[in-house]
Amino acid sequence: MERIDVGVLGATGMVGTRLVRMLEGHPWFRLAEVGASDRSRGEALGRLVADDDGGPLWDEAAKMVVKSVDDEYTSPILLSALPTGVAKDLEPKLAKAGHLVVSNASSHRQDPNVPLIIPEINPDHISLARKQIGKQGGAIITNPNCVVAGIAMVFHPLHEAFGLEQVVVTTFQAISGAGKPGPASFDMIDNVLPFIAGEEDKIGNEVRKILGKVTERGFDNPNIRLSATCARVPVLHGHFASVSLAFRKQPHVDEVKSVLNGFRGNVIQDGLPCAPARPIEVMEAENRPQPRLDRDRGDGMTVTVGRIRPCEVHHVKMFVLSHNLVRGAAGAAMLNAELCHARGLTARPAATAQR
């Protein structure tokens, strides 16, 4: 198969670097261009990206000269890891110029014309991207907030089986979730920060949109009540969440485990290269999952669940862990781009940006 060109915007950041790494040897996509702020323009990507836990960047990517995001882009697919404020104005312009913009930013997630997709859950929401392409040539497609990427994966099969009605979620979020340079070490070591700006409000709305149905009249979202409390903890990668759930029909703990263990998602037939064999893994040991030990399961794409037990207030409670930079960001965007490609949204000649 001839590989399709993709560009990475925000390539020097936490998420962008992961995207660049995931594109090494990708069977469908070829990294063709990288962009960041004017500060980085003209520099070789390898010089700007310090070796992180992935080691040095692969050769071809390291030699790429970084463009400004205001330069011209020719790749049909642009994977965006830009800050929300930049993405807000720029991504619609790029979509109008004919690109498929696959975005990590929250700026357009709640736009009723923009799909918010986790491929294993709601791949059919891609119809909204088709509509955008019909109207303007390109489209924006988004992946969820890094906490939602993990918990929605768990909520979806349980909602299908038992009808989810109420959620109380408390998060323990990793430092890399804050992007570069992240919180000061003086704030983070020996400490927990009990506030993450803008985070708690996003969670309920994003869960409801992902679990909702796209109808002729717009979204039909489930009436799930959700209360979120978010904290930053001194963990490098991996967002951890304690969730307590109430259902229309009270399930036994064993039924919950069986539903989660059996879940494979709605995209198995698409053969997406970044899709893990198991989107959810239930761990039985009472001291698992743990961020350091379990965040990389399924190359960071598997969500791990543990300590599933009866809840004294709701019906069941458990811990959910997902890698914020992979399942919660770069891997999520890659999977969305692969979904679009597999379902024919990118089978067009390369766009030439006219902005």
Q: Which of 146, 230, 274, 340 is labelled catalytic? A: 146
Dihedral-angle region of residue 111 (phi above 0 means left; psi in -120 to 50 means alpha; beta otherwise): beta
- Of 96 and 108, which CB lies nearer to ligand NAP in the complex structure? 108
Q: Residue 313 corresponds to which tokens in the numbers above? A: 């207030």
26 Cβ neighbours under 8 A, 6+ residues apart: 3, 273
Which residues, listed in sequence order, are joined to residue 215 by a DSSP beta bridge? 218
- Of 90 and 342, which CB lies nearer to ligand NAP in the complex structure? 90
**DSSP code of 55?**
B
Output the smallest distance, CB 19 to ligand NAP, in A: 9
Q: Which residue is nearest to ligand NAP (CB)?
A: 13
Sign of the alpha-carbon dihedral angle for 176, 295, 35, 148: negative
Could you confirm whether 341 is annotated as catalytic? Answer: no
CB 158 within 8 A of CB 263: no
Give φ, ψ of 339 to 5 degrees: -60, -45
Could you confirm whether 239 is annotated as catalytic? Answer: yes
Q: Which of 99, 156, 239, 341 is labelled catalytic? A: 239
Report the alpha-carbon distance of residue 280 to residue 259 in Å, rounded: 10
Sign of the alpha-carbon dihedral angle for 31, 36, 38, 40: negative
Output the smallest distance, CB 31 to ligand NAP, in A: 15
Output the smallest distance, CB 345 to ligand NAP, in A: 22
Report the alpha-carbon distance of residue 182 to residue 21 in Å, rounded: 21
Return the amino acid letter for 82: L
Strand 303-310, strand 280-283: pairing: parallel
Report the alpha-carbon distance of residue 158 to residue 153 in Å, rounded: 9
- Of 9 and 154, which CB lies nearer to ligand NAP in the complex structure? 9
Report the alpha-carbon distance of residue 180 to residue 161 in Å, rounded: 40
Output the smallest distance, CB 95 to ligand NAP, in A: 16
Output the smallest distance, CB 178 to ligand NAP, in A: 7
- Of 105 and 316, which CB lies nearer to ligand NAP in the complex structure? 105
- Of 171 and 324, which CB lies nearer to ligand NAP in the complex structure? 324
Interacting residues toward ligand NAP by CB under 6 A: 10-16, 36-37, 39-40, 69, 81-84, 86, 104-106, 146, 176-177, 179-180, 324-325, 328-329
Output the smallest distance, CB 7 to ligand NAP, in A: 13
Strand 225-232, strand 139-142: pairing: unpaired
- Of 251 and 300, which CB lies nearer to ligand NAP in the complex structure? 300
Which residues are catalytically annotated? 146, 239
